[in-house]
């Protein structure tokens, strides 16, 4: 999915999911992403918990030691959602960095806050959130 100057993609079992919209949130520190059967809200904060504004073009920014807040609905109850940061530049010496995981509640939603490691190298990354849709497909 490409929306305005920002880009992202939602897949189900590896195939792009249609009907997905993405809009910056009200305070300009994150994104609200909605599909037919799910929603995802992502915001970032610095280490002092102050919201971090979106970059020109819509990219998220979070400094080392900062936080990523994720609110999701429409996932399989009792399943696990995992969040990773993956370097955009293939020449980066780091591989995927696991931020953490959370268990989806009985209503198919979670709210979690995960901290970006202080040791992470400064650079461009992709935030990847893996979980199971309400019907058990990998999203």
Domain assignment present for residue 80? The answer is yes
CATH code, domain with 64: 2.60.40
**What local confidence, expressed as pLDDT, does residue 40 receive?**
94
Domain assignment present for residue 136? The answer is no
**What local confidence, expressed as pLDDT, does residue 47 receive?**
95
Q: How many domains does the chain have?
A: 1
Let me know if 43 is exposed, middle or buried by CB neighbors in 10 A (0-12, 13-18, 19+).
buried
What is the distance between the alpha carbons of residues 127 and 1, in angstroms, rounded to a whole number? 15
Domain assignment present for residue 113? The answer is yes
Which residue in 63, 60, 64, 66 sits closest to 129, CA to CA? 60
**What local confidence, expressed as pLDDT, does residue 89 receive?**
77
Query: Could you say which DSSP state residue 133 is in?
Result: B
Domain assignment present for residue 32? The answer is yes
Domain assignment present for residue 15? The answer is no
Query: Could you say which DSSP state residue 36 is in?
Result: S
Which residue in 50, 80, 88 sits closest to 67, CA to CA? 50
Q: What is the pTM of this model?
A: 0.85
Q: Which domain holds residue 123?
A: 2-6+20-130
Sign of torsion, CA 137 103 50 66? negative
* Residue-by-residue pLDDT tens, the chain, 139 positions: 333 344 567 888 888 888 999 999 988 999 999 999 999 999 999 999 999 999 998 899 999 999 999 999 999 999 999 999 988 877 777 788 899 999 999 999 999 999 999 988 888 888 999 999 999 999 9
Domain assignment present for residue 138? The answer is no
């Amino acid at each position: 999915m490409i929306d305005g100057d920002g880009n992202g993609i939602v897949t189900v079992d590896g195939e792009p999911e249609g009907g997905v919209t993405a809009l910056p949130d009200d305070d300009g520190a994150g994104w609200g992403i909605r599909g037919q059967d799910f929603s995802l809200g992502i915001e970032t904060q610095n280490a002092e918990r102050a919201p971090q504004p979106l970059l020109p073009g819509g990219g998220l920014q979070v400094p080392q030691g900062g936080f990523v807040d994720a609110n999701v609905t429409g996932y399989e109850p009792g399943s696990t959602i995992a969040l990773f940061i993956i370097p955009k530049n293939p020449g980066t010496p780091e591989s995927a960095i696991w931020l953490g995981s959370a268990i989806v509640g009985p209503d198919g939603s979670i709210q979690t806050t995960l901290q970006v490691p202080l040791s992470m190298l400064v650079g461009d990354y992709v935030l990847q959130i893996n979980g199971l849709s309400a019907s058990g497909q990998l999203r």
